[in-house]
Structure 1
């Protein structure tokens, strides 16, 4: 089966667009892909669906399967997600009207909504199906975890994702394998790589040679490659001319042979994952050689564990630079040269990023095991902040972090850790690992850190009950902290600390974050632990003897990051 992506047809004259659609249908295209948000501009909502409906009204041949999508909205010139039940129900009604049908052939969630559990969106689609308003339901642009969660509550029959030679991450993500396993049809959108990449296919050596062999264009070879990976995959290229539509439809007639597959596998190794079952690809472990994927959040302590793996060649992006995929050629060369044991210690948050390592190792017959440092994000944040303090003697400001993080792997922006947590796909045996070892965080003693300390929120440090608590620990180092982006807040914090110093007749060191609200751009803004880490390092505090005193529940995260005791006082 070959489909046609209809989005860009809204960019040309309507009569020409209808002619293209009819020509494609006449050439054998049997699936049309549209969406409620496709149209001439922001205001032409459901415009592409209406275009498809008018084309089908003029078409006298077999009716194609029409797939539409809901769950995106356009606002202020940008895409936004909306996977709420009410929105999907309303979008379904409007799509039925635009397409002129009683029941939609297929309705897909255009993209998961971070604010709405995907289970909720999937149940909403299933309810529309049960009500007879939709014949089939599916998802678009999902991860494996999202697909599995949706499948657990709804009968998912279609999944639409981007697959192209230059965009093969989904082939490494496990999504396609899961779809093939469960008979879910896969719609491959942007199979030629989009308007910018498609023209470059003709100059590709592999595709060019196969195109010459079969007497077709390189684009046709790409579509034939996708169809050959699995009967479940339906390429849905776009076309804006009759000639292009007729050409793309020719892919259905191309039959690839084993020599073609071998050439394509060498060009796009990730395709092998779809054609050949894991059990046939996985090498047997004999104990003589191994590759270790050591993964975890930034600041988890991967470098320390990697150095403890004796006899392993270490490949690390922080030391070698570049991107994660850039480490694979080094691994390939090492295994080819006979290196028996290799460890790659990097974040490896996604299944797709780990797949590159597995595929490379398996090519050399070497099994792969995974060691996952499952470190809480609060602890990792403290570790990152401590490394910055150790290296620079102080916490870096937002501009310093932004500039240094480009070249210094020890300087990590706060958002990088949140992004890891958001994107993390836990390692699974289905990836092909020989074993998966989950290492929980263990705080190590620091013999040179012995002093007691009290770290206090500045808004309560001058209160009598807090002062009494501080008087009870006369030998503890005292620190106050505050987030004070405005001059008034900074003055209030300084005044409170001045009063505490006078009442206690002791030094109290004040640290203030003056950076603005919004996404965190520094390590000093509570409840990030930077200021508390700075206090620990400057005074060499023993965290088991540290109390963090505050009326704010959110500040418990700072204490947890340090391993200190949180003492909550009344606001």
Structure 2
């Protein structure tokens, strides 16, 4: 049985492992298959996962439609804490930040329709918009909460200063930052903040775009619009270091637990103080198989220290996930 956590200010108690659905939207992941995507969502629920996280921009509505169909087909909506996002717009396949109140209202209504539901459990602002005061965005979410269209409010990729401003205008329950063994910037600010304020984190990127799956080699290539073609971790200067680190983590996991790097990566995230839920991205049902081998990994302080040593000694030129930040409206390509 997957452990659960509580979303403050609500009666929502999702599992600590959630399904991330960026990849099933196809955009920046080399396309998608509807039948396979629907089966992936259904398989996650069958395995006991009760939180599904999506967003309008994942395939420009595609991921939300697939999630909605998967839950409708099996009549599983009531078993799932359904999380989506708002605050982005797009021109073609170019996303840009747009957290104006009118855009927030439109996105929520569109999401309700695509997800085939009358209420969204967690509505999150995908990225802060430098052209819109945080207070205006928060006010639009508060209105949706009071109207009964959403049950809880969250934000993603916000700084503590932005979180403070947001919380003065609307009740905030969830914070969604990137976090994994290789991307740990939130340990300096966001994680201490959420622990102090009693918020729930819904972290994304546990496998660092598949890097921590243990299935990549230093000569790996990626096709089409795959976002890893733009990710500095996957470029020649750094990629061999990261692959070597994963290989060493894999050897450690095998020796210490009889597991693999993919299991260790998720167990590590869940073991960090302040982490409520870790999202696990999948686009095929078999990519969920590894979850069954995570529960029995208990990391001691010595284990955590050894993991830190492996990463620090191997990755000498680390880089974060900053490349994923979408432009503001006034910076987007014409």
1:307-318 equivalences in 2 (<5 Å):
none
SS at match of 2:95: strand
Residue 194 (str. 1) matches residue 237 (str. 2): no
Measure, in 2, the Cα distance between the counterparts of 1:231 and 1:250. 22
Measure, in 2, the Cα distance between the counterparts of 1:28 and 1:51. 19
Partner residue, 1:256: 299
SS at match of 2:181: coil
Partner residue, 1:405: none
1:127 to 143, 148, 152: 143
1:292-307 equivalences in 2 (<5 Å):
none
2:71 to 56, 64, 78: 56
Q: Which has the larger radius of gyration?
A: 1
Partner residue, 1:184: 199
Partner residue, 2:126: 110
Bigger relative contact order, structure 1 or 2, given CA contacts below 8 A and separation 6+? Answer: 2
Partner residue, 1:139: 155
Unpaired segments ≥5 residues, structure 1: 40-44, 270-321, 327-518, 520-571
1:70 to 80, 86, 101: 86
How far apart are residue 201 of structure 1 and its match? Answer: 7.5
SS at match of 2:131: coil
Measure, in 2, the Cα distance between the counterparts of 1:133 and 1:104. 6
Measure, in 1, the Cα distance between the counterparts of 2:244 and 2:138. 37
Residue 81 (str. 1) matches residue 97 (str. 2): yes
Residue 13 (str. 1) matches residue 33 (str. 2): yes
Measure, in 1, the Cα distance between the counterparts of 2:108 and 2:144. 8
How far apart are residue 153 of structure 1 and its match? Answer: 1.8
Q: Deviations over 1:312-340 (max 9, x none)?
A: xxxxxxxxxx99x89xxxxxxxxxxxxxx
Q: C-alpha root-mean-square deviation of aligned residues, in Å?
A: 2.6
Partner residue, 2:17: 2
How far apart are residue 215 of structure 1 and its match? Answer: 2.4
Output the TM-score relative to the length of structure 2.
0.73
Q: Deviations over 1:193-219 (max 9, x none)?
A: 114564337744235312442222201
Measure, in 2, the Cα distance between the counterparts of 1:69 and 1:147. 16
Partner residue, 1:152: 168
2:183 to 162, 167, 171: 167
Partner residue, 1:296: none
1:410-489 equivalences in 2 (<5 Å):
none
CA contact (8 A) 2:194 2:200 kept: yes
SS at match of 2:267: helix
Measure, in 2, the Cα distance between the counterparts of 1:236 and 1:18. 18
What is the number of residues matched between the two proteins? 269
CA contact (8 A) 2:262 2:290 kept: no
Output the TM-score relative to the length of structure 1.
0.44
CA contact (8 A) 1:163 1:189 kept: yes
Partner residue, 1:214: 257
CA contact (8 A) 1:84 1:116 kept: yes
Q: Deviations over 1:450-479 (max 9, x none)?
A: xxxxxxxxxxxxxxxxxxxxxxxxxxxxxx
Partner residue, 2:323: none
CA contact (8 A) 1:109 1:138 kept: yes
2:46 to 23, 26, 37: 26
CA contact (8 A) 1:211 1:220 kept: no
Q: Which runs of 4+ in 1 moved over 4 A?
A: none
Measure, in 2, the Cα distance between the counterparts of 1:59 and 1:235. 24
Measure, in 2, the Cα distance between the counterparts of 1:128 and 1:210. 45
How far apart are residue 76 of structure 1 and its match? Answer: 4.5
| Greater strand fraction, Structure 1 or Structure 2 | 1
Measure, in 1, the Cα distance between the counterparts of 2:210 and 2:171. 34
Measure, in 2, the Cα distance between the counterparts of 1:24 and 1:170. 27
CA contact (8 A) 2:86 2:107 kept: yes
